[in-house]
A and B are shown apart, each in its own frame.
Chain A
């Protein structure tokens, strides 16, 4: 198993550009999520999904869109990049049982810089 994969590893954008961060998992996990990690801020939840076709907002959803057309993939789209979106982005996935998530498996992260 490859686990959770994220592409790209690094990205530099100019203000106003759009892009999609890719996330895929091969563990048949129902639950997938996106976090951003800023220095001194811990991890903040952007969006999450409890299954294909179902997404919901996290703590900091503004400026980001997601979709979940398959169990495996959960892309994160930046609509119009802003310097405030400079961060490290992590994707994670986990099993769910009885409405509760189990251990989350994290990808290696994407380091995004917006100039």
Chain B
């Protein structure tokens, strides 16, 4: 099945710092790729997605580009806020959906 490898956390940043979370995928074909975010005490929710190669997904200042050549879907944000503290999950689409361990991000004032 499809799977991802995601950088381990925790990632600790100061407010307004640049954030990158690396994600590489293994997949049959070219599935859609997703980033989900989990805030404390909540379920996961979609942050952004890309449905085909070279697509860029974006939301709330976050961006990720579907790179077929490097099988990557790295998440970036130019200036993080304390409210971005959460756990971030990269996931490919497919028939049997699995997630990696997630990356915990802590943004300090």
For residue A54, give the distance in angstroms from its CB to the closest CB of chain B.
11
Instruction: Give the residues in chain A near B79, CB-CB below 8 Å.
Output: none
* Chain A interface residues toward B at CB < 8 A: 31, 33, 35, 40-45, 48, 50, 56, 58-59, 90, 92, 99-104, 106-109
For residue B91, give the distance in angstroms from its CB to the closest CB of chain A.
8
Q: B96 touches which one: A45, A102, A104 (CB < 8 A)?
A: A45
Q: Give 1 or 0 for each of B24-48: 1 = CB within 8 Å of chain A CB.
A: 0000000110101000001111100
* Chain B interface residues toward A at CB < 8 A: 31-32, 34, 36, 42-46, 49, 89, 91, 93-102
Instruction: Give the residues in chain A near B43, CB-CB below 8 Å.
Output: 90, 92, 106-109
What is the bound-complex CA distance between A30 and B11, given in angstroms? 36
What is the bound-complex CA distance between A104 and B37, given in angstroms? 12
